[in-house]
Chain A
Amino acid sequence: MKQIFEGKSVKRIAKRTPGGNLTYHYRKRKIKDATCSGCGAKLHGVPRLRTKQLAKLPKTKRRPERIYGGALCPSCVVEKIKNKLMVTTNDNSSN
């Protein structure tokens, strides 16, 4: 996608070249927070980096050490566990 250099969200920084001329460098846009795919809450433990910088980090620093870490918030995980337990006990009692 073509980069847009106008507007308030694009940060423009003035720099001086070795020849004495003035040029502008443009900073890249910042990434938004990761959100829970179930309820939309903001997730902790996921750094706000672009994909190439995220790939350089070790795997344990990209997401928390929990099932569905980096995808679901902890309260959604607790709901999933409770629903699964209710289903298994109801199956046993019906059989």
Chain B
Amino acid sequence: MTTAAIEVGRVCVKTKGRDAGKYCVITGIVDNSFVTISGPKKLNGIKTKKCNATHLVYTEKKIDIKEKAKDDEIEAAVESANLSDIIKNGLKL
């Protein structure tokens, strides 16, 4: 397995909080310990917010977006990468 890095566009899974078990996308990096994430909201209900990087588990998937992209652009990029079904359904535990 290749090592996944914290970068804009990386798809990851939240492990803590009310959104645990859902997929999300990294949209920006704040500093050593915090990142901004988004669902996008229409697919699974996660708003754009700040989150601790240790509360995420990284996957091997990545989408192509700019830093601080809005929800419409993220949705379009997710559609073109065929990941909208995975983000909608989430991890079935």
Which A residues have a C-beta under 8 Å from some C-beta of B?
Answer: 65-68, 74, 77-78, 80-82, 84-85, 88-89
Contact = CB atoms under 8 A, between A and B. Distances in A.
Contacts of A80: 93
B20 A81 contact: yes
B7 interface: no
Contact of A85 (B16, B17, B91): B91
B78 to A, nearest CB: 18
A67 B20 contact: yes
Interface string B16-58: 1110110000000000000000000000000000000000010
Nearest to B59: A85
A84 B59 CA distance: 12
24 contacts: A65-B18, A66-B18, A66-B20, A67-B21, A67-B93, A74-B16, A77-B15, A77-B20, A77-B21, A78-B15, A78-B16, A81-B13, A81-B15, A81-B20, A81-B21, A81-B57, A81-B93, A82-B15, A84-B93, A85-B13, A85-B57, A85-B59, A85-B91, A88-B91
Contacts of B93: 67-68, 80-81, 84
A77 B21 CA distance: 9
B17 A66 contact: yes
B12 to A, nearest CB: 10
A33 to B, nearest CB: 22
